[in-house]
Structure 1
Amino acid sequence: MDVPTVFESTHHPDEDAWGLVYTRFLGRPLGVCTVPLMVGATTSALLKQPIWAYLVWGLPVALILATVWTHFSLSRTPAEISFRPGQAAVRSVYDVLLDRPRDWKPIFNVRTTSFDVELAVGRTTYLLQPTQWPRFGALRDAARESFRPQEASSRA
């Protein structure tokens, strides 16, 4: 297993443009941040109170919060996992879009169930679920296999 085994999640951008991927991730944060604003503005309008504060202050704040949330989501959502003996590299959607190189880190633990794979890489633990990884069975097997050489070397 000298050549890294690479698995792509459903969030992997493939050949999609940055703007398209960003727009897909922006929808939920934008909705969550603007719904309270719309409720407040509607309530104020029904009570015949001014709504300018919602438009002048609330809308820019909601857009900034949605933008920050989207950037955070892009940088924290795993898009690709690569395995080699004793190590794994997890690249986020942001890393894949910028075509950053893989950052190999030691695998400290692999816990598998029929529902998910708990993968401890470096200082981070990832919970990998079948709905987000099309080749989940192969990913589970590769995680176990790449962790196995580390177990044998630590006992010696």
Structure 2
Amino acid sequence: MPDIHPPTKALIAPGPVRGYHVQAKDYAWFQESLAHTTAAGLMTFTGSGHATARHLTDRQGRKRFTGLEHAASMSIQDAAHTLFSNEYVGTGHVFHLNGPRVEAFSGVDEEIFQLLIRGDVEEYRTLVHASRHVRPRLTFDKDWGGPVPVHADDSVFSLRLLPGQDEDPCACPSR
């Protein structure tokens, strides 16, 4: 039901507060709905459209993530990297940033990715919840060659200069 009705105090009923009240009988359904929505967001971050679709309803946009996954039209799960000795899968992009070419990689831990591909949301929630306090938040990975923020859900978005380039911006021709 829309609006939350706070408890009455001293025979005075306060006005309703905007929002929705999830009742105890709906807790399990609500937790599962949140888990699937979070899983869909995480799978979108890795570039896996089909894995994203399995966690969405038609109303949430499942059809947008089904069909052909083509690199020219959307991000696709097409890259894997070892970061901090963990395997991550996701998608990468190369672009120019003030001259030099930069690689960006967004992904998620391979084990979590496999759980979500299979649709095992409960095991995903258990794993992420149990280890959410042991992940680094933002660190420079020497082997990767750039900063790698690792989020509590074990997703990463890392950047690095492509090998063989100077760290100074290129001299662009004057116009």
TM-score by length of 2: 0.24
Using CA pairs below 8 Å that are at least 6 residues apart, which structure has the higher relative contact order? 1
Q: Which protein has the bigger strand share?
A: 2
TM-score by length of 1: 0.26
Q: Which protein has the bigger helix share?
A: 1
